[in-house]
Structure 1
């Protein structure tokens, strides 16, 4: 009964103040486990910030890590910090609130940042694959190709292109009339698509364009570069094969992990598959818990130079 009254109250506020509120309906047994949810998510958020920031600082401090490969890794980890910060503060507040709501403009903004950073991650992984391709397949030309200006340009494009393309999408969404005020999720993502009164053909076509431009084409380029690396490594010496495995394997693991979650987010959510609320919550929590921690763990353990500096840091902390 209270939920029905709450729903009518927020619709009334929409009529009187011209502010549209959406209810986030993806939580399970929140009234019962709210403090447990809050503590787990708070600890995980701190862990995500600390793990990613530690490796970023190591790359920043040590000049031996001032190479394109490590700079791209630092950018990727910084992306994870922004990604988590876009979601966690609002999520933590919702766990302690009686009403899990968000205004429509703020919801659009959260989705805009979420997908901008997701697309940036794909483009950063593309830049990393290109760097590895030049390093292994064209080693003599590497210093001339991967100059400081090239690295800066790739970083700027990786963040700027998604922002520009998704701005158009947000403008299209902002002009859409909505007929539902309940999102099947715990934050704003593709589920916004389901609350429109009429499905926009323009928005659907532009969504396909963005998917091709920021996900599929980069993914095909990454597969091409790693195929070339594999062929060159197979024909080369054992040392080259070892170098290729040490530097490319972490990138491939991160790519596979991220591609799986993006596939879930884009396809399953957009198709509105009839999953139980608990299953949806588990999948969403994996996206926001598992992925931002996966990157620093993989690069911290698998990248030899980073691992060496991490061990030295931990030994210094223990000695004090």
Structure 2
């Protein structure tokens, strides 16, 4: 029997021998990571250097892009190493560092999307009070609170899982995940499970309820407003709604895969679903917002045609 003091490394068992195809997989993943880095860095720079974009919605977007750059970097470098490697082990400290980074990314992402929903609600439903509720000071306070709370919530989660006595060191994924480590515990993990479920059903469900409420009110205003009002609201809300649906889809399958037995699902499908929420948000959000938000599209176009 193992305990936590003897587990010095974890084995990521979801990798399988692909022969020479591993170089193809490496190039595909490397290309995806390069696209994520380039597109997110470009939009971060565009928002930071253009004063016309120093508005609440774009500052929240900047925070979102920074988080996606950070979240993808917690996954892809190690993933690329393991694709080419014949040994799919990771040291315990590095594993827990990856767990912290990935769960911190998820927390910041969902809270930032919630803050953006509130911003759109105030802008469309309470336009005369927008400058009061969404002053730059309030935006910075909200953004800082999102990042600080996410750090504390993730550290609290790790403080419950890291000391657990473990009876194994095999994680059935291509990266380290907190619940996968908790399932290796020798003894009762009810405290850790209660914390995880409480976080999901109070914070996450609460945020989803707030987002749904915001968009119900926005929809009501759009239906009762002029055609121009509807077009303006839709142009800013559709990218945000698409991002929320995309993230919720990925997070849902990640939670299901962690909590339920997925042995009947093909290995490649499980790998795809586990990577979806860490890959598609950073990849698609710059495209969604870059193409749909007029100010960003115009500035990016001017940068591309400038000599």
Normalising by structure 2, what TM-score?
Answer: 0.94
Which SS does the other structure have where 2:234 is aligned?
helix
What's the secondary structure of 2:166's corresponding residue?
A: coil
Unaligned runs of 5+ in 1: 1-10
Show the counterpart of 2:43.
55
Tell me the alpha carbon deviations over residues 179-229 of structure 1, each in whole angstroms, 9 at most, x when there is no partner. Answer: 121111110123223222234111111111211343111111011111111
Find the residue that maps to 1:23 and give its secondary structure. strand
**Distance of aligned partners of 1:108 and 1:199 in 2 relative to their CA distance in 1, 3 Å threshold:** farther
Residues 277-318 of structure 1 show CA distances to partners (whole Å, capped at 9, x for unaligned) of 1211222343333221110010011111111112222223xx
Aligned partners of 2:7 and 2:169 also within 8 Å:
no
Q: Identify the residue that residue 8 of structure 1 maps to in structure 2.
A: none
SS at match of 2:183: helix
| 1:125 corresponds to | 113
- Judging changes above 3 Å, is the alpha-carbon distance between structure 1 residues 214 and 165 closer, same or farther for their aligned structure 2 residues? same
Partner SS, residue 179 of structure 1: coil
Please tell me whether residue 66 in structure 1 is matched to residue 54 in structure 2.
yes
Gaps in structure 2 of 5+ consecutive residues: none
1:272 aligns with 2:288: no
Residue among 126, 145, 161 paired with 1:138: 126
Q: Equivalent of 2:139, from 151, 155, 175?
A: 151
Residue from 202, 214, 219 that aligns with 1:230: 219
**In the alignment, which residue of structure 1 is the partner of 2:273?**
283
Q: CA deviation at 1:265?
A: 0.7
Q: Is the 8 A contact 2:104 2:151 kept in 1?
A: yes
User: Mapping of 1:21-100 within 5 angstroms?
Assistant: 21-100=9-88
Distance 1:89 1:214 in 2: 30
Does the CA-based 8 Å contact 1:28-1:278 persist in structure 2? Answer: no
Q: How far off is 1:149 after superposition?
A: 1.3
SS in 1 for 2:90: strand
Per the TM alignment, residue 19 of structure 1 is displaced from its structure 2 partner at its CA by: 5.1
- Show CA shifts across 1:249-300 (max 9, x none): 1000000000000001112222132222121122234333322111001001
Q: Supply the distance in 2 between the matched residues of 1:262 and 1:214 (Cα, whole angstroms).
A: 14
Does 1:306 pair with 2:289? no
Query: Which segment drifts farther, 299-308 or 249-258?
Result: 299-308
Out of 170, 175, 184, the position equivalent to 1:195 is 184
Find the residue that maps to 2:165 and give its secondary structure.
coil
Question: What is the CA deviation profile of residues 223-251 of structure 1, one whole-angstrom value per residue up to 9, with x for unaligned ones?
Answer: 11111111112112222111110111100
For residues 254 and 157 of structure 2, the distance between their equivalents in structure 1, rounded to whole angstroms, comes to 17
The answer as to whether partners of 1:123 and 1:214 remain within 8 angstroms in 2 is no
Q: TM-score, normalised by structure 1?
A: 0.90
TM-superposed CA distance for 1:33, in Å, is 2.3
Counterpart contact for 1:119–1:214, Cα < 8 Å: no
Distance 1:284 1:32, change over 3 A: farther
Give the whole-Å Cα distance in 1 for the aligned partners of 2:251 and 2:183: 18
The answer as to whether partners of 1:162 and 1:214 remain within 8 angstroms in 2 is no
Please report the RMSD computed on the Cα atoms of aligned residues, expressed in angstroms.
1.8
1:115 to 92, 103, 123: 103
Aligned residue in 2 for 1:214: 203
Q: Which secondary structure state, in structure 2, belongs to the residue aligned with residue 195 of structure 1?
A: coil
